[in-house]
Amino acid sequence: MKNPLVSGGVSHLPPKALSCGRCGSADRLKLETIESIEPHAGELAVWVTYACQGCEASYAHSAPFRDVAAVLNRSGNGSGLLQFGGQYFHCGEPMAFAESSARNVYAPMTTEDVDDGLLDVYLKTRVIQCRCGFRMELPV
């Protein structure tokens, strides 16, 4: 019989919030990598490496995704949109597919050299939606 408690690796450490251990601040953190960790219970967590630009210290540990998204938002990529692991996140939450976008597609009437490939791509879009109402159209 295997005791599951014995096989602990570093990724089993509980996620903790991002902050600089030297200055105690999270204001000057620069995220370097975000990686998925093995499936886990509870809140979504990821493995992050980051550096404090004030202290030039770097850190690596697992962190709640919500905290990572907060740091990303603060460091000013603006939209709050984040792509990670094949999913899109907004407000720190994975965005869900909205019901398929059944909007009308207006085919160009005057253009003679309509590119069928482009039109095809345009038709095959799906819409993902955040619970805050943010929507984004994705090519399939």
Only one of the segments 35-43, 65-73, 89-97, 103-111 lies at the binding site for Zn ion (rule: CB under 5 A); that segment is: 89-97
How many residues touch Zn ion (CB under 5 A)?
11
Contact between 17 and Zn ion by CB under 5 A: the answer reads: no
With respect to Zn ion, which residue has the nearer C-beta, 26 or 37?
Answer: 26
CA 112/CA 55 separation, integer angstroms: 60
With respect to Zn ion, which residue has the nearer C-beta, 37 or 66?
Answer: 66
Judge contact between 136 and 127, C-beta under 8 A.
yes
Task: Please name the amino acid found at residue 114.
Answer: V
With respect to Zn ion, which residue has the nearer C-beta, 55 or 98?
Answer: 55
Interface residue list for Zn ion (CB under 5 A): 20, 22-23, 52, 54-55, 90-91, 130, 132, 134
